[in-house]
Structure 1
């Protein structure tokens, strides 16, 4: 392998503070400028950056500094471990020292009093399983209190709650602001005295302030960061439109400047944008659901032979070469090769086929498939990230992080879109003022409308959202999509070949019709189900399930014989039953 390739590493960094797709593009450009970075891709929906880099030239400290320079925050994956039997500060320091020396671990803090370790690590370089193994070598047991994916999910749930509070706070105040301001515009208060009108305007001013300076703070902070870095994003447009409406209305309220007030414009702009932010936060909070469902297919523990004894251990502790025992109805915990026994496996989670697959000595077994009938022993061949299921999960994660070719075009357009919108808005103001010769307040309203309507979020958000949802929903349904490029190429397909079972069908047979010329439906179903009690065929399960649903009494068959490739023969209640 060439030296350059050997020195390349990958890192997945979590990002905080992004408010729109323009922010993601800004961070991506900043990272790609760093020496030693081969390629950086930022996903706004997943709120992470996937970076390929040369560790001899750069690393997380430089990535973090570059991200902070433009006003955003970053961190690596985090897990919280419960460590039993810590007796002293020396034990805590020993754990810190051994973990600090491992590649991929960025930061480690062990709290001796709470018996807890918090670890920040690069998931592309080291797994939580390996971290726990290092701790175990020192004689301590470590269990995950909060996993990396749960930590990420909790952060997203916290963001959903924050946006929800801000939105509903703004909405509660915006309703009376908009109602009163509209009544003002239609001269409903024309009979009121000047002092009363002034009081109404002051009241609107007072109600608008918390909407702007509490609910709308994030947009002004985002705009400040963007302008400080000599860029313009959606926050600049929102902040400008709100500021123009509010400042102009404040001047007409507290100075002799004539004109109407537009407090409702400032409040309603923020409320509608906050609704979008709230819905966006909910969508982001669901991005890891497909991954979590795939992870949920894994067994949590395994029965292994250690020192000639059967011991049940967490799946993370299973090692290559371990002898694993699998009993009927259990999930196969990891990939391996059968060394004793035979069974039938349900591999539908992998293949979509409902028919059981016969396995005997020398045959491979795949983790997360289900052992249906027999007791087997197998030697572990793959564990952790090397198993088939882990590779599927990794494929889905990578697919969600990839950019489609059309998204790169959208990113370039979004990068210059905001300055163009601002120029058009200024042109609109001047044209209405000097050519249309309308009142300044009406021209100002036209300019504000251009800024608000032209919000560029949809351009940068639509494509990554489509990729995220498409790959996630596909994974849940057993369809693996390699990424945005594959999705985009699907547009050119003119023929699709399906594997029918488990794809176009449920993948699980069931009885739909019973046709008989001599016996009643229940009787023929009872006889068939009783005979099938000796079979493990999927069609037998379907017949027995149908009989059980009808509450039919089944009897055990006699002289049961399975004719390979043909069917079965058995005696039930003195009758010879042939099914095939």
Structure 2
């Protein structure tokens, strides 16, 4: 690869296959796994993780390839697997406030899809996130205005390190915000600026220093300060104003109702009702206008039509009550749904925004965003750890509950890893930073949980599809009810218009649509708080139906750190036997071999001169020592070589019956000795497995490569229902399939690496020890962050509770909607009662789902 073209740094995962032509990448998919490096640049037609490239070297900062002055002199980095945008467009994410049900998300999607140069719009109601893909940077100019027109509040996420958020003090009206924007836009180094008077926040994308921006703001009479944790969502300050207007309009309706019975002028009564309609109806009518423009049929359209229709036929009290109840219900829904979103917000708050960096003999406070890998951070007792790192000085105990859910602090010494967001309980420590702020374990947890909340569970997908059909059908039915009966002489127009309007209100399946996602978000948030990552609603639902769990033995049910229990030297001294064993096992990667090697080295025993080392799969190892082939392995190995065993077989059987593993040392002529190794069962194993049985998992199974005797002994200690012994890795897959063939829904628990085939075969893959391995966090469906099974019963219990609540919510929503529909035609369902049935049911459904946040681990 030439120096002038396609220069890559050490971390690049992609290099470019060159055919002497530059910048000739076509609209094809490029594969990120193996692109060859040759003499020229960028004529690759390979595939790049499903992302289309339209032209070379013209990509923006938030994508894989950065724009440079010469072609393809890029640092090509790994493309995230979850990227949804094609490289030929730009992607920006926003936070949306004010959505009270998933139909709001659909309205926003449809509204934005009609904008020029917008290629893709995705709104996730659960996480309140909006992703927009546009052709270029100017494509997003109208996004915020369009969302505001629809009646929602929008706030962009931090896109890059040049985009910073500031607090601004001294603004007393909206024109102050406009003045700041106008002034900063005159500065060449400021690319964009947005000032929100309501929140007192200013977002500026700039290339000059923070001090320069603060100075410029002060020139026009305001005080600005950098908000370091710019990803933290801000609360909407005009919520209280909204409640104030709702209260005021409620008083107007009450006065109008009282005056109607006291002989006061009907005109005055009507004016009171009309004022209440305008106060509460302005926002939904405005949102309805833009929803209709984007051909969307949401709750705002239905409620606005009902309120306006009621006013037209003279039912002013009904119209005022409809919009008041709708406004109140929406406010309460928003307040309730925010409780679920706080599950992520609380995770974001865990890691401090600044760190004390050791520079020589001095301590300097720096924002965590500016801390590099390799810098030394000093953490005092009682402080939170700001970044992942390795202890290089001091000893302490660390409360890892925010990451792993473990209630007991963990002792840490030099060389141990600490995680951002955990709490330093006792001694002062110094750590060397090992990960940047965006790569820390807590950042990955937040990212994975947000991703999980964006995934639709099967139940949710079905309900969304049902709602998309139900709403237009009932809407058309309402129009038919309004027009046809009076047209054919069945009653008056006013009577049937009223019934049609009531049917319009009932047409919105808000409670039904919201029944599943809120429960899933609450459950996933609760799990994350307790050190369990559930990768999506699909896996949450699956976990709730699991009735059999298979466990890998070593490192899962047991400590995974076997110890040498006994050495029986038969033909030589113990030291000589250990020396031969060390020579044989030093080249093996098996955990038992490592145990013997560590034991020998701790004893100060020296290895002999060995050669021609060879691993015998599933049986042991061999090497030539002093001209003779020596073996270390299991009984099967020596039986197959037809070596005379004498009473060795009886000894081995006795040791194995005690749950220990045996390593036999010998040659083709004799058995030299027996080394027995034992692995201890984890202290939490029995309690965890008993907990699983209590929550309804009736089959707890152990899978192990150990012999029958060891498996039997460990299975008794762990109290499992059954076990499969002497398994090779591929045999574990067969064991999982056997359980499935018996009619069980099977979960497999392993370390996420060695047990990958079995994890993939099971209905649900659960990895433990996620805090210590990125692989486990990426491969499994559910990840137990702690290296024990303590939280597994809680996970199953939470999943089953979530399934129960989802079913309760669905049935409750359907029953309430059915009753409302049935009461319309006898004329018993008033408009205000129809609104109450919808918004009230939605609030009850949300509150029921919020119970999942309180389920204790």
Q: 1:213 to 1:402 in 2, by over 3 A?
A: same
Partner of residue 214, structure 1: 279
Match of 1:214, SS?
Answer: helix
SS in 1 for 2:283: helix
Residue of structure 2 equivalent to 1:493: 546
Match of 1:236 in 2: 301
Shift of 1:403: 3.3
Could you tell me which residue of structure 1 aligns to residue 138 of structure 2? 61
Asked whether the 8 Å contact 2:189–2:207 carries over to 1, the reply is no
Partner of 1:21: 102
Alignment of 1:364-379 (within 5 A): 364-379=417-432
Alignment of 1:49 onto 2:130: yes
- Aligned partners of 1:484 and 1:237: how far apart in 2? 30
Q: How many angstroms apart in 2 are the aligned matches of 1:459 and 1:33?
A: 28
What is the CA distance between 1:99 and its match in structure 2? 6.3
* Match of residue 479 from structure 1: 532
CA contact (8 A) 1:95 1:138 kept: no
- 1:55-204 residue pairs with structure 2 within 5 A? 58-59=135-136, 61-65=138-142, 71-72=149-150, 74-77=154-157, 79-81=164-166, 100=191, 107=193, 118-120=202-204, 135=210, 144-145=226-227, 147-149=229-231, 152-155=233-236, 157-158=237-238, 160-178=239-257, 200-204=265-269
Aligned counterparts of 2:542 and 2:142: Cα–Cα separation in 1: 37
Contact 1:22 1:411 in 2 (8 A): no
Q: Is the 8 A contact 1:301 1:315 kept in 2?
A: yes
Q: Distance in 1 between matches of 2:425 and 2:207?
A: 32
Question: 1:19·1:222 contact (CA, 8 Å) conserved in 2?
Answer: no
- 2:165, 2:204 within 8 Å by CA — same for their partners in 1? no
CA distance in 2, matches of 1:93, 1:120: 9
**146 and 382 in structure 1: CA distance in 2 versus 1, 3 angstrom threshold:** closer
Equivalents in 2 of 1:268, 1:26: separation in Å? 25
Gaps of 5+ in 2: 1-31, 33-46, 53-63, 66-86, 159-163, 169-179, 216-223, 551-683, 693-857
On the 8 A contact 2:449/2:524 being kept in 1, the answer is: yes
| SS of residue paired to 2:279 | helix
**RMSD value, Cα:** 4.2
Distance 2:141 2:464 in 1: 23
Match status 1:339 vs 2:392: yes
Q: TM-score, structure 1 length as denominator?
A: 0.64
Equivalent residues of 2:124, 2:130 under 8 A apart: yes
Number of positions where the alignment pairs a residue of Structure 1 with one of Structure 2: 443
Q: CA deviation at 1:385?
A: 1.2
* Maintained 8 Å contact 1:400/1:467: yes
Change (3 A) 1:476 1:175: farther
Q: Please give the alpha-carbon distance, in whole angstroms, between the structure 1 residues aligned to 2:298 and 2:434.
A: 51
The correspondence of residues 300-379 of structure 1 with structure 2, limited to 5 A, is: 300-379=353-432
| 1:398-435 superposed Cα distances (whole Å, 9 cap, x missing partner) | 33334334434444444454432232123323565367
Please state which structure has a larger fraction of its residues in helix. Answer: 1
Distance in 1, matches of 2:443 and 2:392, equals 24
Shift of the 208–25 alpha-carbon distance from structure 1 to 2, 3 Å rule, reads: same
Shift of 1:143: 5.5
- Map 1:175-574 onto structure 2 (within 5 A): 175-178=254-257, 200-249=265-314, 262-430=315-483, 432-433=485-486, 437-495=490-548
Partners of 1:237 and 1:452 within 8 A in 2: yes
Q: Deviations over 1:307-342 (max 9, x none)?
A: 333344444443211122334444333211223344
Write the distance in 1 (CA, Å) between the matches of 2:408 and 2:98: 49
Q: Shift of the alpha carbon at 1:108?
A: 7.3
Q: Is the 8 A contact 2:190 2:207 kept in 1?
A: no
Structure possessing the higher relative contact order (Cα contacts under 8 Å, 6 or more residues apart): 1
Match in the other structure for 1:543: none
* Aligned-partner Cα distance in 1 for 2:384–2:322: 53
| Other structure's SS at 1:216 match | helix
Seen in structure 2, the aligned counterparts of structure 1 residues 209 and 404 have a Cα distance that, compared at 3 Å, is same
Give the TM-score normalised by the residue count of structure 2: 0.45
The CA deviation at 1:294 is 1.8
CA–CA separation in structure 1 for the residues paired with 2:514 and 2:499: 26
Q: Please list every run of 5 or more consecutive structure 1 residues that lacks an aligned counterpart in the other structure.
A: 84-88, 101-105, 110-115, 122-130, 184-188, 190-195, 250-261, 506-580
1:36-66 deviation per Cα after TM superposition (whole angstroms, max 9, x unaligned): 9886431235443134x5xxx6245324536
8 Å contact kept, 2:467–2:513: yes
Distance 1:401 1:40, change over 3 A: farther
The match for 1:252 is none
Return closer, same or farther for 1:442/1:480 CA change in 2, 3 Å cut-off.
same
In structure 2, the CA distance between the partners of 1:300 and 1:429, relative to structure 1 (3 Å rule), is: closer
Is the Cα–Cα contact under 8 Å of residues 169 and 215 in structure 1 kept in the other structure? Answer: no
Following TM superposition, by how much is the alpha carbon of 1:381 offset from its aligned partner in structure 2, in angstroms?
A: 0.8
Alpha-carbon offset, residue 457 of structure 1 = 2.4
SS at match of 2:235: helix
Write the distance in 1 (CA, Å) between the matches of 2:122 and 2:403.
Answer: 30
Kept in 2, the 8 Å contact 1:346–1:371? The answer is yes
Q: In structure 2, what is the Cα distance between the partners aligned to 1:455 and 1:33?
A: 24
Helix, strand or coil: the match of 2:434? strand
